Structure 1
């Protein structure tokens, strides 16, 4: 067995086995933490090795169970795991985020106590979510992509409602219903694809779909795009997200915002470039991208709660990624791939920072916040760096990704592409306005000037000392920011800044990944053999 074959299943296998082990260790929280962190650390190392191998040797393929090829163009039977440059990058970034958020959640539990939440199931469920995310990125056929989605969604149902508060259960019901609808549409699309082609293997589908009538191809693509669009929160299929994510605990919201929608974006990239590369629905995708950017950021402007505000910016910036896919050139695809990696890191970091704000100041609504910069310069720093990155201020990675996408639109030259360029610029400026608004209201003004500042659970001075008389809803005192929460947040800031400092080689990797995705030949040949 080659090194690549031995490593390929581990991002799924390791967290799955660790999840089972932590479930059995439910009454020993320290052992649970050790198992979970060890497993996620192993996944980071394995994914980094897979990225190196995929970049050096090309697409890696593992047919689980050793099933061989069937007739020509049919592809292998059984489960096929595929690692190319795109999936390898998604695995690396996702594994880093999953490890950092796990550290944050553990640090929060150790410092503030876990008495109110069924934490014995948090880490096992979180590890199952990690396995589902990795399975989706590795899947070489539509059915196992569906299985990956369902594994991560099943785990997300539990994580979203953990603690069983009224708001969480209500949001969980909405999230479950929307997820079930998208899964049913996806399953319906899988049935249609199989009926039309006789296979679900992605590489084999790439060959067989070319022989279908254009109308049939467009219909199949449309069904899959609706399913993936719901999962990625593309307008007008995004209304569920701002109501679902903000109610969950900070670590859960962070990993949801950073990863779950990006799995949907990954599926859109894979379907558009590998299965339906003729561009039949590119105009529709461009319009959806434009509306996603503008409607999302206008929704963010109207919010007063930081978590809801960030949820709307999350929707808005999905539009940038769809923009890069829709223009169908290498610059756009490389910009989209780079921007996905950037956004996973920055959006996750910002939601973790909001968790720190809630913990330290007792609220996340702008009407109750103020004076945080003077009270805690460190908290101000960990907010402003990813906020400026999200806003696209040079020379941060957000600026680099947006410039690449705007260049792609200019290269396309169509009227819709120029509208997307204009919409991208407007969205970027409005994003900067939104984060500046949070800064001025929550960090710069005094707490006394906040309309409801007297209702927050703590005063700014409570951030600097260990008060004994501040009463919180779920703990007796706030104390300083726990290192267990601050360190992983800072680590994600550093990794996000690495996308800027190492922008040349990382964007070069994105360009190679885009070329590989758009060309298709290497992927198809690696899976089904030369045609």
Structure 2
């Protein structure tokens, strides 16, 4: 029987004894806000007229919070908050570095644009089915994935955004939506299962799930643990999430089925969470294994770019065309991961940021084109230039940006990636980037000529043209971002370079989690 003791217990080895600074709450405030708003919207689910009044200010507040978070990281470096006052690696950490803060901020901006667009695109039935609560939950999952410092929590946030995405996919319960949701669910659940297996494998090797803890230990296990098997599992799981070749076929089979604003959110955000996770794990945690797998990743990137562009050229349905354009963009991001180094990774980050905005804008553009032209098909669309000049002007900018043509935002990440590929002698990867851009230019030029420039074919559906500028306000806002950062790329280029350096050398990230070195 143990003798009683009155000796004081020293909790400082396991607990954070000092109160948490108010500014540190910024790292979890965006996630908490989205969960809270989702709950509030559920409580007023029968008062449909209140949904927009709650959701849009909430998304604007999300942009503000993520902007403040980004500002703090830019000026003061990464910072961490650990749940329950447990010191890491015992507690679950949320860590904001420049890469995660950039992705979270840009995601919030496009979510606000999509939310405003949804005020007119989602009818009473869609609101009754829960569009806005699902949107809040989706953004909680996306933001949580970008800001978590724990790899199991990354899996949890994937699950959160998947649950909400299932609800958004079948909004309306049409047969086409259920079919698309089934294909989406099967492949994503398979990817999630592989991710969970990899997480269990990782814990068995390292005995920790804290990313900073893994980053500082990974070098010690090189050659003594089956890290290649582990990283191959991660690459396959995240390739499924990102819709990279050869596990990309689910995306064009499902993204064309929901409401167009839902497709815009998916095309802009969900695949980028996959490439974010790939970069976080392969560049920051396992750089040596990334080097060994670089050829495999590069081949997948090249095939994603080329087949995505060719798929876009072959489509007559604008929604399917956009899905293949998303796949081509994912190939460009993966090319940067395969190349590695500060230039390659910065090109991948810059392209991911550009793609979040541009792919969201592309889907919203398609929604406006279909509304004006009365169809999703190039066989019946036409004359949009005369009926809706605002939509046609937006199409010109978005198509150029998607193809990587000057003077818009898509040009600069392509230049960075081309330079990085040529610097390491990967001429075939450079050729793939250029060939993909050329085919995408043909595909999007074909869409512009048929849907926007030529007169509408005889016998086509009656069109609705009133209120075009008002409805296009979110689209015009995204186009303005594309134009601005195309003409003034210095800030995003500089931030992406600093974010890439922070990924390749995670010393500041680790110190934010273990400021005194922590227990080994």
Normalised to the residue count of structure 2, the TM-score between the two structures is: 0.93
CA deviation profile, 1:420-445 (whole Å, cap 9, x unmatched): 10110111111111110000111111
**Unaligned segments of structure 2, at least 5 residues:** 1-19
Shift of 1:332: 1.0
- Aligned twin of 2:152: 143
* 3-state SS of 1:82 partner: strand
Alignment of 1:41-80 (within 5 A): 41-68=60-87, 75-80=88-93
Separation (CA, whole Å) in 2 of partners of 1:24 and 1:498: 40
Measured against aligned partners, the alpha-carbon deviations of 1:169-203 in whole angstroms (never above 9, x if no partner) come to 01111111111111111000011101111111111
In the alignment, does 2:140 pair up with 1:126?
Answer: no
Compute the displacement of 1:107 (Å). 2.6
Question: Is 2:317 the partner of 1:293?
Answer: no
**2:3 match:** none
Cα deviation for residue 501 of structure 1 reads 3.1
Contact 2:390 2:469 in 1 (8 A): no
Query: Residue 117 of structure 1 aligns to a residue in which SS?
Result: helix
Give the corresponding residue for 1:390. 402
Give the Cα separation in 1 of the matches to 2:420 and 2:401.
21
| Alpha carbons 2:129, 2:172 under 8 Å: kept | no
Q: Shift of residue 482 of structure 1? A: 6.5
Counterparts of 2:331 and 2:357, CA distance in 1: 17
Tell whether 2:422 aligns with 1:410. Answer: yes
Name 1:447's counterpart in structure 2. 456
Structure 1, gaps ≥5 residues long = 69-74, 464-478
The question of 1:202 aligning with 2:215 is answered no
- Deviation of 1:481 after TM superposition, in Å, equals 2.3
SS of residue matched to 2:379: helix
1:345 equivalent in alignment to 2:357: yes
Among 478, 481, 493, the residue aligned to 1:495: 481
- Tell me the distance in 2 between the aligned counterparts of 1:319 and 1:170: 26
3-state secondary structure, aligned to 2:132 = helix
CA contact (8 A) 1:61 1:83 kept: yes
More off after superposition, 521-530 vs 93-102:
521-530
For the pair 1:335 / 2:347, whether they are aligned, the reply is yes
Deviations 1:380-424 (A, max 9, x none): 1121111111111112111111001000011112xxx21110110
Q: d(CA) in 2 for partners of 1:149 and 1:486?
A: 31
User: What's the C-alpha RMSD, in Å, of the aligned pairs?
Assistant: 1.4
What CA distance in whole angstroms lies between the structure 1 residues aligned with 2:48 and 2:395? 31
Preserved contact between residue 42 and residue 133 of structure 2 (Cα < 8 Å): yes
**Aligned pair 1:22/2:41, yes or no?**
yes
1:62 is paired with a residue whose SS is strand
Shift, 1:281, TM fit? 0.7
2:294 is equivalent to residue 282 of structure 1: yes
Is the 2:80–2:93 contact (alpha carbons within 8 Å) kept by the matching residues of 1? yes
2:189 to 180, 197, 203: 180
- Aligned partner of 2:109 in structure 1 is 96
CA distance in structure 1 between the partners assigned to 2:492 and 2:120 by the alignment: 31
1:257-312 per-position Cα deviation (integer Å, ceiling 9, x unaligned): 00000000100110111111111211111111111111111111111111101100
- Write out the 4+ residue segments of structure 1 that deviate beyond 6 Å after TM superposition: none
In 2, Cα distance between the equivalents of 1:439 and 1:101?
23
Instruction: Quote the Cα distance in structure 2 between the aligned partners of 1:396 and 1:501.
Output: 7
Looking at structure 2, the residues matched to 149 and 385 of structure 1 have their Cα atoms a distance apart, in angstroms, of 32
Q: Deviation of residue 3 (structure 1)?
A: 4.1
**Aligned pairs (5 A) from 1:477-516:** 479-481=466-468, 483=470, 485-516=471-502
Q: Distance in 2 between matches of 1:38 and 1:117?
A: 20
Shift of 1:368: 0.8
Query: Does the 8 A contact of 2:406 with 2:486 survive in 1?
Result: no
Q: Distance in 1 between matches of 2:235 and 2:515?
A: 28
For residue 238 of structure 1, give the secondary structure of its aligned residue in structure 2: coil
Between 367-376 and 149-158, report the one with greater CA deviation.
367-376
The equivalent of 2:384 in structure 1 is 372
Whole-angstrom distance in 1 between the partners of 2:128 and 2:335: 40
* Structure-2 separation of matches of 1:217 and 1:528: 24
Task: Pick closer, same or farther for the CA change 1:10–1:101 going to 2, 3 Å.
Answer: same
1:107 and 1:482 in contact (8 A); partners too: no
Q: Please, what TM-score do these two structures have when normalized by structure 1?
A: 0.91
Aligned mates of 1:60, 1:501 — CA distance in 2:
32
Q: Distance in 2 between matches of 1:293 and 1:340?
A: 14
String of CA shifts for 1:114-151, please: whole Å, max 9, x gaps.
25435351111110001000000011011100011000
Report matched runs for 1:114-263 at 5 Å: 114-119=123-128, 121-214=130-223, 216-263=226-273
**Paired positions, count:** 495
